[in-house]
Amino acid sequence: MAIQSTPLIITGMHRSGLSLTASILKTCGVNFQQFEEPESSQNQEIEKLDFSSLQAEILRNQGINSQVWTSTKEPDIINDIWIQKAQELAQKYSDAKIWGWNDPNTALLLEFWAKILPDAKFLLIYRAPWEVVDSLYRSSEEIPFEKQPSLVFKSWINYSQKIIQFYNKYQHRCLLSNIQTIVDHQSPYIQEINHKFDLKLSSPSPKVYDTSLLNTETSQNSYRLGLIDYYCPDVTQNYQELEGRSWHPNNNPDWSWQNLIKTKPSQDLVFQDWVNFRQQQVENQLLKDKFDQDFSQIKEELEYSQTEAKAKELQCNQLNDKLQAQKSECNELNKKLQVKESKLDQSQHQIHQLQSDLSLSKQQLNQARCDSQKYQFQLHQTQEELEQSELERHQLQDNLQQVEIQSRQWENKFYQTELNLSQQQKKLAQTQKKWERTLAQLHQVQPQLEQAKIELSQFHQTEKQLQESQIQLHQTQKKWERTLAQLNQIQREREKSQSQLHQTEELLQQSQTQLHQTEILLQKSQSQLHVTESLLQNDQTQIHQTEQELEQTRTQLHHALQEIERLRLYESVTQPDVEQTDEMQYKVKIWEAWCAYQNGDFQQMARLLKQSLEYTALSKAAVVTNWLETFMQNADHQGLSLDTYALTNSPEWKQLVRRSVVIPSVRLLT
């Protein structure tokens, strides 16, 4: 039985806590072990060289920089090569039950991976925009926002819109969460993953998270938040939309950040950065003065040390000169002594050699006398063997001459081979350069190559058809020969047919008479057909009128149902229970706003929703969430589909939310 493989993909914008989420999931049993972890990673961050390099190559090929993705242009994945590489890469992990990766670049390729991995589940992570911006500004890495710091907000908006669009389209495959919510509620977050995606992940380890790695100091700075809301209101609106759609324990989003936003930053706060900057300059100047003072003192000490070092060096050079002179004298004396010792050793060695040679000569003389007789006998045998050896020597010399000739030939061949090899190496270098240019051209002519492949396949088909045509031609030739024989036979039979032709002409005259009668009947049938077509056209006109009346009836029925529901709510409002009067009035206003939305009257919808605020005690942020939930319930009740993205992005809705939610909360603070 094959293992059911479930890819778990984590993505979001840079600096949004993707690696932290992956570390939590790793302790719960998600298989991230097959991916390499870079040495510079902190807190056991999980990084994937395979998937990251593939996605970076795709984006780089299309000229997209993911860290400053401020364009609304979508990546266009149309190259089959990328699809094949992605499928091969995913196939490596098909044996794992639960596996995955985390990469910010995936947020730009969500549709691509949703098609490649139909069983994949997506964990969409976001973070407060001011915390993301602060993290990027504090980063030691080179960032492309130094000259245009506001580009980071545009990039954050594009990432968030990309995530919201994908979440609206694939809600059953996605879980949208704030990184701070995940950190504060790790166990409920894992339980929500198990519940929504039917998984069995274990509980997370409590030691995986280090509070010092997730800086939330900026979220407490009302001055920063006020500047962002004043100059980039789209940022706070997108963050509010993310908070309204994302997962929260007990469905209770944290709207406390709205209380820190000012309608307009005060003058003192606006100039606070200037004050901080000047104070930092004063501190830097003090540090610089201290550094210059320390540097001057160290420089004086260094100059004094260098003077002493030069004096010491001069003394050392004088001592070295004296030492070298003494060494040269000692070397000359040693050389003379070695010459005399060598001569003495040679003399003694010669004496010992002469004595040993004398004793050895005596022994050899005695032995030579004994051996001379033996040698005389062996001499005859040796002479015979010598003659045989002489013959073999001549033969070996002949063979040696042949070998030398072959050796010279091989040397010539080897020299020629070396020349050819050097030429081939030069050609190889030229071919390498041509290959590199061809490879560059190959990427350019890839579409032409694919078209050529198609034409080649068509050519093969044409070639097969040509072969079949040749076979058919051969068969046709045989048939033609048979036909020629049959033609002769037919020629003979034609003469017989001539006699039958006269009989056929008589029958033809009879047939023409019958044809004339048939034409008369056909004219009658055509007249009847025209009458039938006119009747059919009248019936179609009546059917069209009936369809229009049916559509009007449906519209009237829809309005009647709305009126009945509105009357039902009014009847419930007029009941004697006074305590529920405001609540029912609130529901009536929302129902009337829903009816106005169905009729396409967004201004009337906004006006009625604004009036409903007078009949409820809920908080402003909770009211907006309740409006969306009520609209979704009404749509489900009527069997309709509610486009929440189009609704929440309409100008009337945005203006209503801005006036009814953000501004009132600010006025309470001021």
Indicate the pLDDT class of residue 191, thresholds 50, 70 and 90: very high
Indicate the pLDDT class of residue 270, thresholds 50, 70 and 90: low
Residue 70 has pLDDT above 60, yes or no: no
Q: Measured between alpha carbons, how far is 102 from 17 in angstroms, rounded to an integer? A: 10
**CATH class belonging to 6-34+48-265:** alpha beta
Compute the residue count for the chain. 670
For residue 100, give the 3-state DSSP assignment. Answer: strand
* Sequence-distant (≥ 6) Cβ neighbours of residue 56 within 8 angstroms: 66, 105
Residue 509 has pLDDT above 90, yes or no: no
Q: Which two tokens stand for residue 455?
A: 């034409």
CA 334 to chain centre: 79
- Read off the pLDDT of residues 231-243 as tens digits, 9 standing for 90 and up: 788 888 999 999 9
- Read off the pLDDT of residues 569-612 as tens digits, 9 standing for 90 and up: 555 555 545 456 788 888 888 899 989 888 888 888 999 988 88
Burial class (CB in 10 A: 0-12, 13-18, 19+), 459: exposed
Compute the 3-state secondary structure of the chain and give helix, strand, coil in percent, each to the nearest 5.
80, 5, 20
Q: Count the neighbouring beta carbons within 10 Å of the beta carbon of residue 652.
A: 17
Worst-scoring range by mean pLDDT, 28-37, 104-113, 188-197, 647-656? 28-37
Indicate the pLDDT class of residue 125, thresholds 50, 70 and 90: very high
Indicate the pLDDT class of residue 533, thresholds 50, 70 and 90: confident
Taking residues 34-50, report their average pLDDT.
Answer: 42
* Sequence-distant (≥ 6) Cβ neighbours of residue 319 within 8 angstroms: none
Q: Measured between alpha carbons, how far is 183 from 17 in angstroms, rounded to an integer? A: 10
Taking residues 115-140, report their average pLDDT.
Answer: 88
Contact of 242 with 179, CB cutoff 8 Å: no
Q: Extract long-range pairs of 405-413: CB within 8 Å, 24+ residues apart.
A: none
In one letter, which amino acid is 442? Answer: L
In one letter, which amino acid is 256? Answer: S
Residue 39 has pLDDT above 50, yes or no: no
Contact of 566 with 592, CB cutoff 8 Å: yes
Question: What does the domain layout of the chain look like in residue ranges?
Answer: 6-34+48-265, 584-661
Taking residues 321-348, report their average pLDDT.
Answer: 83
Residue 63 has pLDDT above 60, yes or no: yes
Residue 46 has pLDDT above 50, yes or no: no
Backbone angles phi and psi of 650, in degrees to 5? -70, 150
pLDDT averaged over the chain? 78
> Distances in Å between the alpha carbon of 136 and those of 55, 183, 280?
22, 20, 21
Residue 105 has pLDDT above 70, yes or no: yes
Q: Measured between alpha carbons, how far is 79 from 4 in angstroms, rounded to an integer? A: 29
Q: Measured between alpha carbons, how far is 666 from 670 in angstroms, rounded to an integer? A: 6
Residue 155 has pLDDT above 50, yes or no: yes
pTM here is 0.44
Q: Measured between alpha carbons, how far is 565 from 550 in angstroms, rounded to an integer? A: 22
- Read off the pLDDT of residues 292-310 as tens digits, 9 standing for 90 and up: 888 888 988 888 888 888 8
Q: Which two tokens stand for residue 170?
A: 């694939």
Q: Count the neighbouring beta carbons within 10 Å of the beta carbon of residue 99.
A: 21
What pLDDT does residue 189 have?
Answer: 94
Q: Which two tokens stand for residue 190?
A: 């894992």
Contact of 87 with 116, CB cutoff 8 Å: yes
Residue 556 has pLDDT above 70, yes or no: no
- Read off the pLDDT of residues 511-522 as tens digits, 9 standing for 90 and up: 777 778 877 877
Contact of 245 with 176, CB cutoff 8 Å: yes
> Distances in Å between the alpha carbon of 666 and those of 131, 256, 263, 264, 612?
21, 12, 6, 10, 21
Range list of β-strands (E), 14-111: 98-102
Taking residues 352-362, report their average pLDDT.
Answer: 77
Q: Which residue from 21, 38, 43, 39 is spatially nearest to 30, judged by alpha carbons?
A: 21
Q: Measured between alpha carbons, how far is 411 from 244 in angstroms, rounded to an integer? A: 86
What pLDDT does residue 146 have?
Answer: 66
Q: Which residue from 32, 29, 46 is spatially nearest to 199, judged by alpha carbons?
A: 29
Contact of 106 with 7, CB cutoff 8 Å: no
